[in-house]
């Protein structure tokens, strides 16, 4: 078989496996939602900022008390740095996160009339907000198609052969080319769920993984 024909055949097989994996993913995790608890776009924004290098469970413990006194950006400014640091100390990196939340709240008041903006470009102006956080806020708070890539998504996508991207942006672009925009949010959540439950960073449960027949790295890590 000519080399070009062989490459095309391998590409077709790979695409077929990718679509099969996505179908199984939807079947295994039909109803998945974010674990972060929030009641407004602003609360979600703060929760995602706080979630860096911290579990969602720990963030929820902190925000359960925090969100009783903070409802909008001006509440954060009235709270002040010392009290804010004390309230979010359980999240780790709390001093850095406190500065980010205060500066973000100040900018929201000055530039966005106290409201969380609904474009990626504007969200990225906020301290502590990177592309992943912006995409989470867009998709979850405003139901605007966006695909967020965290460590779980990047790890699972690469292991399953859904992406060869070496960084979060490359993974985002490849997944978005495979999945319809209407399914980006669900696919993001499904990949996270699989990463937490089965395809863990250490000692992945390959023997009980529903993708083992299609996964190119099954049993290799």
Q: Which residues are catalytic?
A: 132, 150
Which residues touch 55 (CB under 8 Å, ≥6 apart)?
none
Question: Residue 39 CB: number of other CB atoms within 10 A?
Answer: 9
From CA 96, how far away is CA 89, in angstroms rounded? Answer: 11
The CA distances from residue 202 to 12, 31, 52, 159, 162, in Å, are 31, 26, 19, 13, 20
From CA 84, how far away is CA 88, in angstroms rounded? Answer: 6
From CA 150, how far away is CA 148, in angstroms rounded? Answer: 7
């Amino acid at each position: 078989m000519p080399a070009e024909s062989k490459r095309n055949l391998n590409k077709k097989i790979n695409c077929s496996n990718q679509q099969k994996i996505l179908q199984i993913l939807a079947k295994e995790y039909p109803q998945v939602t974010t674990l972060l608890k929030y009641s407004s776009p602003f609360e979600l924004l703060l929760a995602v900022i706080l979630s860096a290098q911290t579990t969602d469970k720990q963030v929820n413990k902190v925000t359960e008390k925090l969100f009783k006194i903070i409802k909008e950006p001006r509440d954060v400014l009235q709270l002040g740095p010392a009290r804010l640091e004390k309230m979010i100390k359980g999240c780790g990196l709390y001093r850095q996160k406190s500065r980010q939340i205060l500066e973000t709240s100040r900018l929201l008041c000055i530039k966005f009339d106290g409201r969380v903006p609904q474009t990626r470009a504007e969200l990225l102006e906020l301290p502590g907000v990177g592309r992943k956080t912006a995409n989470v806020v867009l998709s979850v708070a405003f139901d605007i198609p966006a695909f967020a890539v965290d460590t779980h998504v990047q790890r699972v996508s690469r292991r399953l052969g859904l992406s060869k991207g070496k960084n979060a942006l490359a993974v985002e672009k490849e997944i978005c080319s495979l999945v319809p925009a209407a399914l980006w949010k669900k696919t993001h959540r499904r990949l996270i769920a699989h990463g937490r439950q089965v395809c863990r960073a250490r000692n992945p449960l390959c023997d009980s993984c529903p993708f083992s027949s299609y996964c190119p790295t099954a049993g290799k890590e």
